[in-house]
Amino acid sequence: MPSAIDKTTGTSTSVLQEGSPHRSRRASLKVLNRNIHQVVLGDQLFDAWYYSPYPDSIILPQPGDGSTAADARNGPSHGHLSGYHSSIRGQEPICPFLYVCPCCFRYTSLKQQFIQHVARHRHLRSQNLEPDQPVPQSAFKVYEWEGHAVWEIDGEREKLYCQNLSLFGKLFLEQKSVFFDTGGFKYYVLTYTKPDISTSPASATAKTRAQKQRSTSANTGEEDDSLYRTRVLGFFSKENLSWDSNNLACILIFPPFQHRQLGQLLMAVSYKLSGWEWEGGVIGGPEKPLSAMGRRSYLRFWSERIARFLMGQTADADAKRVFDNANADGNGRNRKTVLLRKEEMTVKEIGDRTGMLAEDVVAALTEMGMCNVMAPKRKKAKSSTPEVNGTASASLAHAAEIDPEELATVVIHRSKIVEWAEKNGVDLRSPVKEEGFLGEWALSDLAESDNGSQNASGEEGSDA
């Protein structure tokens, strides 16, 4: 992400200046400068990217702190200046630091208030009056695997938490527009929990070290990291009722945790939660139009999803492989061959098996650049007119037409998929584990019983 500070002059500039790829394509949209310079999220400090409509009572300089709103804006004071209007004027951010609670995402521009607020969370947790997870108590866990968990939060029931999360997310999303009307949305928050030191061989030593750290922090005023054992890494939201069958409205991985394939994980979870593999489920995709960054991310995700499906991995709903493997070539040599389960599939069939819209399937195949389009067949019309001076052949040529039932065919070679995957460093394993889904999204008992019967039959055969 480009810096908002000109390193040559040291002056503040807009991250949405002319020529920036992050600038909105809509010419009528006024570009707002950042109103917040840096964010303190718990024990982490990083830059804000975009404007977010935090209340002026929070981000504007307060009376008695040695500055005024006019001083901050470097202009004359005509009553109360709105952060919205002042941000249009192209001045530097009016709030140097915004302190955000890592547990509830409440915010303040005063460091002392932030310290007191975080201390209250520690006290409540020590008294078992607050859950250890940085999500509301009503949150429902829908996925958990190797420390990562996804929690479903009702935007109507937990309005304050979701509003705070939306305001924080807008600092890093250019086109997000829903901040306060969260009632029609569900939020899915991604968290990561560090491994429990009590389960490690050196647990006694680790506990002793932790006690010393707590003692030191009590004497020096420094904070221990017990509050940060579980962190919020990002989130996505989706409408409860989408007329366009969208399975995702917005998605964000916080800047300190980006470039770890966590966005791919959330995208995969969003497709799973849409229930497209069940009767009555919805085949959909993200809300469009996508931003430039969002389109790049989704093209990558769609391409990998289709590659896993066509390579016979369990990327499709019913976990059936498209390819069957055989180990004999008829000459006694142990060679692995691939037999197509189905030679021809329509784009819609691929979409049905992967939960993707047909337009997204086409976009992904085009992005992968592995399609060889074959022209549709033509049928020749019979002519009852005898050939005179070679005119019959010409008339036949004009009479030739495309059979409306014959559509253009796209040939996809498995070798090209392998080549594309190796070139782009694609892991053909899914970013999510089916075993990690909980509740109604967990693996069905029927599927488990089928697997159990297959394993039993395999064991009987091996005993023979």
**What CA–CA distance (Å, rounded) separates 372 from 381?**
28
**What CA–CA distance (Å, rounded) separates 89 from 63?**
23
Smallest CA-to-CA distance from 134 within 203, 234, 9 is with 234
Q: Choose, from 287, 401, 422, 440, the residue flagged as catalytic.
A: 287
The token pair that represents 404 in the structure block: 């409306």
Q: Is 287 a known active-site residue? A: yes
The token pair that represents 99 in the structure block: 């302190």
Sequence-ordered list of residues with C-beta below 8 angstroms from that of 58, at least 6 positions apart, any chain: 95, 98, 107, 108, 109
Residues designated catalytic: 287
